[in-house]
A and B are shown apart, each in its own frame.
Chain A
Amino acid sequence: MAELSYREMGLSDDEYQLVLDIMKREPNYLETGMFAVMWSEHCGYKNSRPLLKNFPTEGPQVIVGPGENAGVVDIGDDQALVFKIESHNHPSAIEPYQGAATGVGGIVRDIFTMGARPIASLNSLRFGEIDDVRVQQLFAGVVAGIAGYGNCLGIPTVGGEVYFHPCYRGNPLVNAMCVGLVNRNEIALAVAGEVGSPIMIVGAKTGRDGIHGATFASEELSEASAEKRPSVQVGDPFMEKLLIEACLELIKEDLVAGMQDLGAAGLTSSIAECASKEGRGVQVDVALVPRRELGMSPYEVMLSESQERMLIIPRSGCENRIQEIFDKWNLDATVIGQVTGDGMFRVLEGEKVAGEVPVAALTDSCPVYRREGEEPPYYQEKKAMSLTNIYAENPAAAILKLLASPTIASKRWVYTQYDHQVMTNTAVVPGKGDAAVLRIKGTGKGVALTTDCNSRFVYLDPRAGGALAVCEAARNLACVGAKPLAMTNCLNFGNPEKPQIYWQMENAILGMAEAARALDTPVVSGNVSLYNETADGAIYPTPVVGMVGLLEDLEQRCTMEFKAEGDIIVLLGNSSRELGASEYLYLCHGIEGGEVPQPDLQQEKRLIDLLQELIKQEVAVSAHDISDGGLAVCLAESAIQGKIGCRIDLPADGGQMTGLLFSEAPGRAVITVKPANLGKAQELAANYNIAATVIGKAGGKELIYNGNGKPVAIVPLAEASQAWEETIECYMK
């Protein structure tokens, strides 16, 4: 491999100067590479760290917050959920199958490294427009990669989201979330253990794959990116499955002092992170690292991002038992060095010292950039767009068009490729509820999981949009009956060195932080993916929220479909006509603008509490939040899933109906109740100070939307189903 300059490795001149100051000498090639990967945005969070401090990270439910491999929240009975979301955007843009597959592999390792058994995966995916053949190939490749890897591991992929928008054409987003279950006393943290402890590497052999992947993830995509292809990693889910089982056995038997997965920046990062926790040092000999390829330099061994490798620091005296367990699983474990007390990260190649860097310089001296944001001109322009003359001439056609929009349409084509039932815990399968629900075997409990982000909202108003992403996630959990507990996030933005991008990032984070505080869903883990740009510009700011919730009683769970003819349809929350930033405006009028509906966080919190209460008391028999496509689509989805139509009547005439049908204003959900329970529903809603308006009844084979008693739109249920269910399948044939 040709030698790279420090600039090509991703260090700026100032950063290199800082390295010189720390080292008090010219670093050699290996040392420069170690600084470059550890100080990349991906590992060092140098652009985002000051902003991330805004997130609330504490609460009685939080056991482990940010800073570890994943966050941990209490779910009672001495059990906890471990979860995190992470991006694999750039690798997936270049090799969709392997990029997505190794994204799943990486996040799963983060979870079992904490001692938890992974119990579910979710994926938040974004692509360009689906009629583009290149996008179809990417989409198909990413879905197949997630399926190929996740299915083999036997971890159900239970939820997520897929959006299509031109801003993601050259830079798709592939964000993978994993959730694990752990007994509180078995939570494993990344620590170095005692001085003198051996350091073992286990799993796959080390090759040249993915060298500088972390740096690569922190750069804009360009034509030249195609030339970086050799850095694509190839995943081996079978090896990962063996690692999961073996590592969980080690933890059950309490054999390890420290365990760390090898992810971005490979050995360099995982060793440095382990050692930094207690101010330890390390000495490793690259000659001892088992390799797949001949002639690898120390630089290549230390920076390789070969997948399916773990670092193990045994408890003293447990080495033999550890070896036995790895033998049982036919895994190769090798001692490559030991923990020292001098705070230095020393890399040997046999007898020779190949490089020597203070551990703390790699982990703590990474420069932090506090940048100045600048409000982009589009912000006021788009906000000021007048929407007063906008109305649907043919509302029925608009409803069908929305249902057939790939972003709204059923994702059946995707989730039938994912094994979503393995482990036999999936109580609400994909497509059936606003969130996935899993039972926790041996208890009566359930957990609910979701990922959400409406990036159009965030683009048009980052502060409101950031908050709305959190609100939607919490609302989705409440709609299945769960109490939102905590969140993780994957912050996908463009190049933060551009002031207008930084402004998006700063405001989106502030908005998310406000909502997380108001809804009591602290941020316990996360990942930042910057430089999501191509020659055509940046992606829309896309801070994806992954949230987990708890159902004390799994029997009290709720799905979205209408359950029976004659059930009363109740709109919870204030009626809204705001069309700003809606999918309707985009799809039917080609407009992305207007004022983003502003969140009312206190009202949102009351709605979320109310939904849980209505479900717990078995008053609500279905619940579905109002989001993409507005009330009209919300009702249609419940009808399609329940194979029961509906008739609603709203207090408006003709053109006035457009706003009521398609507004995506937050803080709203639709429930159905048995006629006998209507009074109870209204009473509960009044207790929570939430408007509860009867808008119609479930029944029949049509979707009938009336305004002041006159039909405004009538859509046969069969047509609605076809539009919603077959769109993506038709494109992907």
Chain B
Amino acid sequence: MKARIYVTLKTGVLDPQGEAVKKSLHVLGYGNVEEVRMGKFVEVDLQAGDPEKARQELMEMSDKLLANPVIENYRVEMVEGE
């Protein structure tokens, strides 16, 4: 079973990287860009029978390791049939 985990910065947490990229996009002429937030994208391939249980496990993994709950949120997306 495959899952995708999107790790993003919590609202309100400063994203220096996103800010720098935004400024650079403005310089390149994309003045309509209002905000850029950078994040991480993690693909996990795991053995699991029960998708709901797998989702629980993936959320645990995210809490413990993949995301830093101090500053990051995450979203788990199960990818069926791949």
A and B touch in the complex (CB under 8 A): yes
B19 at the interface (CB under 8 A from A): yes
Question: Which A residues lie within 8 Å of B71 (CB)?
Answer: 95, 98, 232, 234
User: Min CB distance, A439 to chain B, in Å?
Assistant: 33
Cβ A229 vs Cβ B12 within 8 A: no
Q: How far apart sit A207 and B23, CA to CA, in the bound complex (Å)? A: 19
Question: Which B residues lie within 8 Å of A207 (CB)?
Answer: 12-14
A624 at the interface (CB under 8 A from B): no
Least CB separation from A95: chain B residue: B70
Given contacts A95-B70, A95-B71, A234 and B23 within 8 Å (CB-CB): no
If A95-B71, A209-B12, A330-B23 are given as contacts, then 9 extra A-B residue pairs at C-beta distance below 8 Å, sorted by A number, are A209-B14, A229-B70, A230-B12, A232-B71, A234-B13, A236-B19, A237-B16, A292-B14, A306-B14
Interface residues of B (CB under 8 A from A): 11-16, 19-20, 23, 68-71
Could you show 17 A-B contacts with beta carbons less than 8 Å apart? Answer: A95-B68, A95-B70, A95-B71, A204-B14, A207-B12, A207-B14, A209-B12, A229-B70, A230-B12, A234-B13, A236-B14, A238-B16, A238-B20, A292-B14, A293-B11, A293-B12, A307-B14
Cβ A209 vs Cβ B13 within 8 A: yes
Q: How far apart sit A330 and B27, CA to CA, in the bound complex (Å)? A: 11
Q: How far apart sit A209 and B70, CA to CA, in the bound complex (Å)? A: 12
Least CB separation from A94: chain B residue: B70
A234 touches which one: B11, B16, B20, B69 (CB < 8 A)? B16
Q: How far apart sit A293 and B9, CA to CA, in the bound complex (Å)? A: 14
User: Min CB distance, B30 to chain A, in Å?
Assistant: 16
Cβ A232 vs Cβ B20 within 8 A: no
Q: How far apart sit A307 and B13, CA to CA, in the bound complex (Å)? A: 11
A652 at the interface (CB under 8 A from B): no
Least CB separation from A239: chain B residue: B16
Q: How far apart sit A238 and B23, CA to CA, in the bound complex (Å)? A: 13
Given contacts A95-B70, A98-B71, A236 and B16 within 8 Å (CB-CB): yes
Q: How far apart sit A233 and B69, CA to CA, in the bound complex (Å)? A: 14
Least CB separation from B68: chain A residue: A95
Question: Which A residues lie within 8 Å of B19 (CB)?
Answer: 236
Q: Which residues of A in the span 183-226 have a Cβ within 8 Å of any Cβ on B?
A: 204, 207-209
Q: How far apart sit A633 and B15, CA to CA, in the bound complex (Å)? A: 46
Q: How far apart sit A204 and B15, CA to CA, in the bound complex (Å)? A: 11
Cβ A232 vs Cβ B12 within 8 A: no
Q: Which residues of A in the span 229-250 have a Cβ within 8 Å of any Cβ on B?
A: 229-230, 232-239
B12 touches which one: A208, A235, A330 (CB < 8 A)? A208
Q: How far apart sit A234 and B23, CA to CA, in the bound complex (Å)? A: 19
User: Min CB distance, B64 to chain A, in Å?
Assistant: 11
Question: Which B residues lie within 8 Å of A236 (CB)?
Answer: 14, 16, 19
Q: How far apart sit A74 and B19, CA to CA, in the bound complex (Å)? A: 40
Question: Which A residues lie within 8 Å of B13 (CB)?
Answer: 207, 209, 234
Question: Which B residues lie within 8 Å of A292 (CB)?
Answer: 12, 14
User: Min CB distance, B66 to chain A, in Å?
Assistant: 15
Least CB separation from A235: chain B residue: B16
Q: How far apart sit A208 and B19, CA to CA, in the bound complex (Å)? A: 17
Question: Which B residues lie within 8 Å of A232 (CB)?
Answer: 70-71
Q: How far apart sit A592 and B12, CA to CA, in the bound complex (Å)? A: 47
Question: Which A residues lie within 8 Å of B68 (CB)?
Answer: 95
Q: How far apart sit A230 and B13, CA to CA, in the bound complex (Å)? A: 9
User: Min CB distance, A558 to chain B, in Å?
Assistant: 42
Q: How far apart sit A209 and B71, CA to CA, in the bound complex (Å)? A: 11
Q: How far apart sit A330 and B13, CA to CA, in the bound complex (Å)? A: 21
Q: How far apart sit A236 and B13, CA to CA, in the bound complex (Å)? A: 12
Q: How far apart sit A306 and B11, CA to CA, in the bound complex (Å)? A: 14
Question: Which A residues lie within 8 Å of B15 (CB)?
Answer: 234
As a 0/1 sequence over residues 532 to 549 of chain A, the CB contacts with chain B under 8 angstroms (1 = contact) are 000000000000000000
Question: Which B residues lie within 8 Å of A233 (CB)?
Answer: 14
Least CB separation from A208: chain B residue: B12
Least CB separation from B15: chain A residue: A234
User: Min CB distance, A328 to chain B, in Å?
Assistant: 14
Q: Which of A233, A235, A292 has the most CB of B within 10 A?
A: A292
Q: How far apart sit A330 and B16, CA to CA, in the bound complex (Å)? A: 14
